[in-house]
Every structure is written in C-alpha cells, then in structure tokens.
Structure 1
C-alpha cells in the first residue's frame, strides 16, 4: 500500500477547506446542465478525498446535493451525520465488512456531516455528487449555530468544528 505522501503526489491532491486533501476528478462536461434553485450545475461531479494523521478531521458542513462516498485505501474513515430532525447517525467506511464497515455511504443533501480518521496514516475515499458540487452549495458548520440547533449533540459538535 502506498504511503500518504505518494497518494497526495500521485493523485495531485490539494488542501481542502473542510480539512484533509482533495482533487476534482470528474465533472459531466458532456451532459446537459441541471437547473437547481441555486443555479445551473453539472449533473455529476466526483473527487478524491484524503484524511491524514496530520489532517484527520473533515469539519461539519452541509451540502445541498446528495453525495455518495466510496472507500478506497488506508484506514477506516468515520462519518457523523445530523439529520434535519436532529437524529445523529454514524457510519464507518472501510474494508472490514464483517465488523460493519461499509464500502459506500450515501448522504442526502440537507444533512450535516463530519468525518474523522481516528487511527492510521491516511484514509482515501472518493465522492460522487449529484447535482455536481459547487462551493456555493456548501455551508461550513459554525459551532454556535450547530450548538443552538442541536444542543443534544454538544460533544460531537465541539469535536468537529473550529472555534
């Protein structure tokens, strides 16, 4: 298995605003654009996303689009999702299916999510986003707002937000 520096270099990954590293690998240039309330979007886009031991948190954020996550390499990646009704859901993407880990996870638009690499040098996933991702469709979680909306999840909100 390659080391994290090789993965970053060979996949040409850059730092991501949520934490970790990423690179857009696909956008549906040859397909008609999709009309959304926020404007026209690609029908589909995809990225590689890497969490590392030194950038182990994908901070709380909310996307308008549905996102399908696929696990590829390295250590398992933990996901935390807070649904609009306040329900907390967790999932682990990784190779150990017998332990309940998953190779794929779908997060619907409108669900707050955070990710975490609790152990290991890195965890590499991909994400397919439909309609395609645009930064204006994403909201980074502000600690005060999330604590006000979801006080029952104070510990996990604090763990995966920046001050």
Structure 2
C-alpha cells in the first residue's frame, strides 16, 4: 500500500494510524523530533489524520484542527529517534494522561518501528491488531528494533505550532 497524505481517507482508524506512521516516523527519527496529529472520523465514516505539528525531542502538541462535521477519534504522535534518557519505545506518563483526559485511546509510533495503542479503559499499551510491520525504524534501537526499514527524511508536510508556519519541502 502506498503512503498517502494527511487528510486522505482510510477505511479504518488503524489504516490511518499506519499511514501516519509511515509518513512521519522516518523524518521524526532523522530530525530527532516528535510529530503529533489527531485522527478523526469523516462524515462518510472514513478516517483521516491532520497535518502534524512538529515538536521537540521530548514532546509535541497534537494538531486538533479537524474539519467541521468530523469527530476526533484519537491522537497519534511519534517519539523521534532512539535517545538515551528517554523510554522512546513506550508511552510516557504525559502521553497516558493526555489520552485519559480525552477518554480516547491514543497511538504512539516508536523509534523501534512499532505502532502502539494505549487503552484508556484497561490502562495498558499493546500493538493493535492490523499494525503495520513496515514502519521506518532507528538502527540505534538495537534489540528493540522490529524491522530493517531504514529511517529517512520523507520531507512530509508539517506545521510549527509556535509560528503556525506550514512546511512542505516536497513542493519547493
């Protein structure tokens, strides 16, 4: 399946999450910065995700600017590159707290190449059914690395939430 773009439509929430993971995780690893989006349900029952906000190596805001007549279903973000001092391949307490405040499961894409879901009901995280096995991963993840998909900067479109400036390096 080819990687789509933010705003494109997917049959399921997991398909949208997988696409976000493939679209942003390589760049997140290369730049060492987190990216965050909201996953939303369209009027026609399909799912999409917003253009991601770019954050720092230790966090990001979630772009909550979803279209009218759609509903927020989840948040998703990357954890950047493998970085000493951080538990990059798991949800942070801040991540869990954010999910619980919305009462919605949340997704994280890890440097090891995994898509994980935090369940707000059971307060556990796991790889959801249907998660892609071909998400870019950081070779520095060592034994935690789940595949050999090389992380590269795909030049995705993203927004700097501090300036509200949109970056779209592919179209330059």
Query: More helix by proportion, 1 or 2?
Result: 2
Query: TM-score scaled by structure 2?
Result: 0.30
Kindly name which structure, 1 or 2, has the bigger radius of gyration based on alpha carbons: 1
Structure having greater relative contact order (Cα 8 Å, sep ≥ 6): 1
Query: More strand by proportion, 1 or 2?
Result: 1
